[in-house]
Amino acid sequence: MEQAESGARLRVLVRGAGVAGLTSAVTLAERGADVTLLEVSAELGAGAASWMAGGMLAPWCEAESAPPEVTRDSLESVDWWASHVPGVVRNGTLVLAPPRDEGDIARFGRRTSHFDLVDAARIAELEPDLDGRFNKGLFFPAEGHVDPRLALAALRDRLVALGGTVRMNAPAGDVPADLAAGGFDRVVDCTGVAARPHLKGLRAMRGEMLLLRCPDVTLHRPVRMLHPRIPVYIVPRADHLFMVGATMVESENAGGMTLRSMVELLTAAYVLHPAFGEAEIVETGVGLRPAYPDNVPAVTVQGRTVYVNGMYRHGFLLSPSRARQAADIVFGTAEAAA
C-alpha cells in the first residue's frame, strides 16, 4: 500500500462531484484515504451530467449497444449502489415497442441476454397500468434503478461521515491555498468534459431529458421504448415523477432543449400511456456527457493525477468499477493506461 510517509494516511484530492467523483471519493475514503473533494459549482449537481441521468442500473440492457466489457464491469453495480445509498429499486427493466415496431424487440433480444420474453398478460402483471397496450416485450429481472439526485446527496453525506471534506464553489484551477499547504499524495480528476485539454480523444455528447409529473400513471420499473432512431426510457421516481430521456447528439452545444428532442421524448411517453398527455412538464434538462471514441469509460494516469472520465451513458452503471480501479492505482495495487 502506498503511503505519504510511514504510518500516515494517504491524502487524496478528488476533483468533481458528479457520479464519478463522488463514487471515487467514497471508495477511497472507505479504503482509508484522507479525501478532500472539490467541486466548482455552488450546489451539488449543478452542471453535472449525472444530475440529468436516468439512474438505470441495467448491465444486460446496455449490452444491446455496448461492448462486452461494459456488461462485465457493471454486473455488481446494483449491489454496490444498494449497499451505499437508500432507495435502490430492484424491479428489473421492461423493454417494449409499439405494434408497428415489434420487430425491434426481436433485434434487441438477439443482442442481449438474461431476459424473459413476455406477452400481453405478463406485461399486465408487471405493470397493471399498461394492461392491453402492448403485445410483447422483454423483461430483464436482475436490473434496477436509483434516483440520481438522491444518490449523489447520499454519497456526499457518506463521504463526510467517513471523515472526508467536501468543498463546493471551489476554483477550477489551483488548489485553494489553505488546502495546498499540506500537499496531496494523489489527485483523482473526475471533471468530465472540463478535462478535455488533458485527455486525448475526449468529446462531449449532448443529452436531453424531461421530468414529468403524472398522477394518473404508476410504473414499478424503468420502461425502454424502442424507437427507430433512439431508444427512449421512462424511469419512475417518487411522487408520480417520471424521468424521460435521453437523446444522444454529437454536439458540444449546452443550450436549451430542441423542439425535435422534446417531441420525440413526449411522443414516447404518450405512446407508452395516453395519460401522459395530461402530464405536467416539471423540468427540461440538457447535459454534456464526456465520452471517448469507443464510448467506454476509462481510468488513465498522468504523473500523480489519476483521471476517471469518459463515462458516456454509463455513469451510474460503471462508476463503482472505475472508482475501484482508480483506488487500486492510488494505493499501488494496480496500474492504468497512460
Q: CA distances (Å), 82 to each of 57, 86, 132, 162, 201, in order?
A: 11, 7, 33, 18, 33
Low-confidence ranges of the chain (pLDDT < 50): 1-2, 6
pLDDT tens digits for range 39-63: 999 999 887 889 999 999 999 999 9
Task: Assess contact for 180 and 187: CB atoms under 8 A.
Answer: no
Question: Quick one: which of 316, 323, 325 has its CA closest to 144?
Answer: 316
Question: Quick one: which of 155, 122, 151 has its CA closest to 139?
Answer: 122
Phi, psi of 335 (to 5 degrees): -115, 165
Look-up: residue for cell 436531453?
208
The strand pair at 165-167 and 34-38 is best described as parallel
The angle, 0 to 180 degrees and rounded to 10, between the axes of the packed helices 19-30 and 148-161 is: 30
Distance CA 74, CA 70 (A): 6
What is the per-residue DSSP string for 165-209? Answer: EEE-S--SSSPPHHHHTT--SEEEE--GGGGGGGSTT-EEEEEEE
CB count, 10 Å around CB of 7?
6
Contacts of 195 (CB under 8 A, 6+ apart): 189, 202, 290, 307, 309
Say which DSSP state 162 is in.
T
Q: CA distances (Å), 146 to each of 78, 90, 218, 325, in order?
A: 9, 9, 16, 23
So what's the pLDDT on residue 1? 42
Distance CA 253, CA 232 (A): 21
Distance CA 298, CA 315 (A): 11
Q: Please, what is the Cα angle at 240 between 223 and 94, to 5 degrees?
A: 10
Please state the pTM of the whole predicted model. 0.93
Q: Please, what is the Cα angle at 262 between 215 and 229, to 5 degrees?
A: 110
Buried b (16+ CB within 10 A) or exposed e, 225-257: bbbeebbbbbbbbeebbbbbbbbbbebeeeeee
Domains, the chain, in order of start with CATH, read 1-89+143-199+292-337 (3.50.50.60), 92-140+202-289 (3.30.9.10)
Say which DSSP state 130 is in.
G
